[in-house]
Structures are given as C-alpha cells and as structure tokens.
C-alpha cells in the first residue's frame, strides 16, 4: 500500500472517531503527497498552501494552546515552511 492510500485510510478512521481537526490536518498532507504523483493538481495544492500560509503567524500561539489543553508538546519546527515545490509564491 502506498502512502496516499494509508493517509486516506487514516482520514477515514479519524472521521469515524469524530476527530475532525486531526482528519483535516491529515488531508492537507494527503493532498500534498498526491500532488507529487499527479502534477495536474499541483496548482490547486499550491493554492491550498497559500491559504494555510495565512495561519503561519499563529503557529506558536496555537501550539501553546493545544499543549495547554491536551498536555502534550507539539513539534512545530519548520511549521511555517512550504513543502518542496509547493511554494505558491514561486
């Protein structure tokens, strides 16, 4: 099984558990991986990353809030970087 299939199965599992925020986060990576295999959707994925970029200034604050609520440390290194080849400004 390939990575896109595994990610799509994880999305379904998370949705069944009503963990919609987690499912949404995995969907970002599912579409990102798919764009590497299907160049015809790369433009749409770049647009998705352009929208996600709007939240980059709030990553640290959101991580602190999640850590406070869920009592776990998030690793946010490179969280404000675009995946290779998907920078919407290039």
pLDDT digits (tens, 9 = 90+) for 26-77: 999 999 999 999 999 999 999 999 999 999 999 999 999 999 999 999 999 9
Report if residue 17 sits inside a domain.
Answer: yes
Task: Tell me the pTM.
Answer: 0.87
The count of domains in the chain is: 1
Report if residue 66 sits inside a domain.
Answer: yes
pLDDT score at 24:
97
Report if residue 63 sits inside a domain.
Answer: yes
pLDDT score at 42:
96
Residue range(s) defining the domain that contains residue 57: 3-70
Is 63 within 8 Å of 74 (Cβ atoms)? Answer: yes
Residue 16: phi, psi to the nearest 5?
-60, -35
Report if residue 84 sits inside a domain.
Answer: no
pLDDT score at 1:
74
Report if residue 9 sits inside a domain.
Answer: yes
Single out the residue of 54, 52, 75, 45 nearest to residue 63, CA to CA: 75
Angle at 71 between CA 4 and CA 20, to 5 degrees: 35
Q: Is the pLDDT of residue 15 over 80?
A: yes
């Amino acid at each position: 099984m390939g990575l896109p299939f595994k990610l799509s199965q994880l999305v379904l599992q998370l949705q069944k558990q009503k963990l919609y925020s987690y499912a949404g986060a995995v969907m970002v990576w599912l579409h990102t991986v798919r764009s590497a295999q299907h160049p015809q959707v790369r433009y749409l994925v770049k647009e998705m990353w352009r929208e996600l970029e709007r939240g980059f200034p709030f990553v640290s604050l959101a991580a602190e809030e999640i850590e406070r609520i869920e009592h776990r440390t998030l690793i946010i290194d490179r969280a404000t970087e675009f995946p290779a080849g998907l920078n919407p400004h290039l």
